[in-house]
Structure 1
Amino acid sequence: MHQLDDTDLEILEMLGEDARRPFSEIADRVGMSGPGVSDRVDRLRDAGIIERFTVDVDRTQLRDGVPVFVQVRGHAGSVQELKDDLASEDPVEHVFVTAAGECWFVARPPEGSVRQWLDDRIDRDEASVTVTLLDEVAWTPSIGGTAFALACAECGNTVDSEGEQATIDGERYSFCCTSCRDRFLERRDRIAEDA
């Protein structure tokens, strides 16, 4: 495994703009061959940097609904459970958890029933809920200007070309050195034995 370079970042940027962009087009822009770009993309997938290719759908073209931005503060239950519950709801497009432990989301509940839809999902006696009607939504994630660095799953240090990766219980982990990988596995085994 080697560190991400400018070519990797440019490939990621182009795939972020259009995940169906042909490798030959990317190759022309980055000065590589199509198979070379394919190898880079495979390496980025193997490293867990590219998790999946997806489609960005303009939901306004597919269905009705009132576009709202909702902020939930002080929810009595688990923020992770609330996030998972909201993410599984069909009208919910994006869910965010803030560093302060709040859950914010963008949704398109059926017209005329926004309050009822929210009341069915969030106990307003337990949480403060702010609802903002949205006029426009643009989702434009970008790779540009982002510095990528894999972090060691054990110590948090940057993983460089000396590092290694391991798939453990179906999850891909990066480690800065063999010692960190061994400590991680030992700790995981101890936790499994204690459970």
Structure 2
Amino acid sequence: MTRQASEGVVHTMAIDDLDRSILEALREDGRASYADMGTRIGLSASAVKRRVDRMRDTGVIRGFSVLIDPEIDGRGTEAYVELFCRGNVAPVELTKIMSALPDVVEAWTVTGAADAVVRIRARDTASLEVALEKVRLAPQVDSTRSAIVLSRLIERR
């Protein structure tokens, strides 16, 4: 498996079924102890730690985070916005533009008619409208098409 680490260095690492089991355990409970994960998959706590450290060092595991309920966090209004750009815009340029907008929480280049899709989280529809206007004002953006999320049906991490 080839991964792009945060430092820009490309690492190649093959993961096995035990690594996959550790990753699944971390997906289910990122706070599980190495001992609990080891008991679950048949390894010692130290063996699990070594494997987690190796997967972190090689970029397979890119980080750990906390998932916060967006309603409680005050960012319960969510939209997916397709960006249609003028001419050819390099992904690095779109990254620079979208990174400057705090309400943009994720962004991807995509195939199809749109050049990119961004995910926006805002306090309410008025705040969402302000965030959308900032996206639309980017000089490379010709037009947008938005879809506001009404309800979350499935969320997997």
Q: TM-score range by the shorter chain?
A: 0.7 to 0.9
Summarize the Cα distance change of 1:33–1:4 in structure 2 as closer, same or farther, 3 Å threshold. Answer: same
SS in 1 for 2:105: strand
Structure 2: where are the runs of 5+ without partners? Answer: 1-11
Summarize the Cα distance change of 1:64–1:45 in structure 2 as closer, same or farther, 3 Å threshold. Answer: closer
Does the Cα contact within 8 Å between 2:103 and 2:131 map onto a contact in 1?
no
Summarize the Cα distance change of 1:57–1:84 in structure 2 as closer, same or farther, 3 Å threshold. Answer: farther
What is residue 174 of structure 1 aligned with on the other side?
none
TM-score normalised by L of structure 2: 0.73
Structure 1 position 99, deviation (Å):
4.0
Does the Cα contact within 8 Å between 1:65 and 1:111 map onto a contact in 2?
no
RMSD: 2.7
Summarize the Cα distance change of 1:91–1:123 in structure 2 as closer, same or farther, 3 Å threshold. Answer: closer
More strand by share: 2
Give the one of 99, 103, 106 matched to 1:87. Answer: 99
> How do 1:1-195 and structure 2 match up within 5 A?
3-64=14-75, 66-76=77-87, 77-99=89-111, 102-109=115-122, 110-123=124-137, 126-137=141-152, 138-141=154-157
Does the Cα contact within 8 Å between 1:68 and 1:106 map onto a contact in 2?
yes
Tell me the percent identity: 24
Summarize the Cα distance change of 1:113–1:30 in structure 2 as closer, same or farther, 3 Å threshold. Answer: closer
CA distance in 1, matches of 2:62, 2:128: 34
Does the Cα contact within 8 Å between 1:86 and 1:95 map onto a contact in 2?
yes
Aligned residues: 141
TM-score normalised by L of structure 1: 0.61
User: Structure 1 residues 90-99 or 18-27, which shifts more?
Assistant: 90-99
CA distance in 2, matches of 1:3, 1:124: 41
